[in-house]
Amino acid sequence: MTPIVPASEGRMTASISAGELFEQQRERLGLRWLAGQRGERRVLEAVETVARRPSLAGYLNIIYPNKVQILGTEELAWLDALDARARWETIEKIIQFRPLALVVSKDQTCPEDLRIAAEESETPLWASPRRGHELLNLLQYHLARALAPRVTLHGVFMEIYSIGVLITGESGSGKSELALELVTRGHRLVADDAPEFTQIAPDVLDGTCPEMLQDLLEVRGLGVLNIRQMFGDTAVKNNKYLRLIVHLAKPMSEPKPMGIERLIGDSGVRRVLDLDVPMITLPVMPGRNLAVLTEAATRLHSLRMKGLDPAAAFIARHSNFLERGDS
């Protein structure tokens, strides 16, 4: 059984600025600046405080302030009902919390004192024709993905039989050659060399390719190949969920004990961010068809995910045979 292998060496701290969020959601949410445009460089980082009680986006809250504060009809009516002193103190609190942005829903008229305070404090203040709950859902989803934990791993990420498979191994183990052969067999390339994985849900790792490496595969002796141009659009895929790791290992000088491993194979898990990803190790030796073995490993993983384990079934059959023999 292969031990758990940590994979935190390429972990990145994600962040997003107010300007980036505005540009990314401007068309979809119909955003426009009301005040505080000089605060477009205000940054929200994926640090521990983001995961605590304040939400990434939510309706106006001055007790547990959200990172993006949404002002709907009820919130503006509540502000209007305050006396002058309480209103001034409330707006001061809103600004002092340094939100990434304030968003007024349904293109409502923004209070002048709030607009002035946002301009003076360089707090981004936007307006949108969308309703408050639409802004809440879309901004919360977008920020959660943008600030999700992510890591860069060394290997080739592919879609094999509709399953996301990361092929890893030491330099020169044949990862790229294996990926090229798998592409010729009808499977699809997601990323070569440095795929990026984002934990978008507690049990989901989404793998993508850096823009610089899009559609490219480096093969020793051939150089850099453009897989999309050579094999067509169906040979590449933009993203895929990581479900299996196939590790190519050079054989050790001393043979391993040939016991139960002959039945169950060399399988284990590898820790990627907060998830344990199943891993199957394939020894690289002359004459082995690694493409066929990788396809078989993927099919075996699919069976195990369905609760079917050929090795366990054989062991049970063997035990039953011995019991019948003793009787």
Q: Is 133 a catalytic residue?
A: no
Residue 174 labeled ligand binder: yes
**Which among 32, 262, 299, 317 is annotated as catalytic?**
262
User: Counting Cβ atoms within 10 Å, is residue 304 exposed (0-12), middle (13-18) or buried (19+)?
Assistant: middle
Distance between CA atoms of 171 and 76, rounded to whole angstroms? 60
Architecture of the domain delimited by 15-146: 3-Layer(aba) Sandwich (3.40)
Say whether 193 is catalytic: yes
**Which of 175, 188, 237, 243 is labelled catalytic?**
175
Count CB atoms within 10 A of the CB of residue 311.
15
Topology of domain 150-320, per CATH? Rossmann fold (3.40.50)
Q: Would you state the pLDDT for residue 64?
A: 87
Q: How far apart are CA 226 and CA 219, in angstroms?
A: 11
Alpha helices (H) in 12-160, listed in sequence order: 18-29, 73-81, 84-96, 112-121, 132-146
Residue ranges in the chain modelled with pLDDT below 70: 1-12, 47-54, 252-265, 325-327
- Residue 173 in marked binding region: yes
Q: Is 170 annotated as a binding residue?
A: yes
Residue limits of CATH 3.40.50.300 in the chain:
150-320
pLDDT digits (tens, 9 = 90+) for 235-280: 999 999 999 999 998 876 555 556 666 666 677 889 998 899 999 9
**Amino acid in the structure at residue 25:** Q
Please name every residue paired with 275 in a beta bridge, in sequence order, or none if there are none: 272
In angstroms, how far is CA 31 from the centroid of its own chain? Answer: 26
Q: Please give the helix or strand (H or E) that residue 231 lies within, else none.
A: helix 227-231
What is the bridge-based pairing of β-strands 101-104 and 68-71? Answer: parallel
Which residues of the chain are in CATH 3.40.1390.20 domains? 15-146
On whether 169 is known to bind a ligand per the annotation, the reply is yes
Active-site option among 193, 206, 237, 240 = 193
- Can 262 be counted among the known catalytic residues? yes
Nearest to 106 by CA among 137, 77, 128: 128
302 is in an annotated binding site: no
Options 26, 87, 145, 154, the catalytic residue: 154
Note the pLDDT of residue 29.
95
pLDDT in tens, 151-178: 999 999 999 999 999 999 988 888 999 9
Residue 171 assigned as binding residue:
yes
The answer to whether residue 175 is catalytic is yes
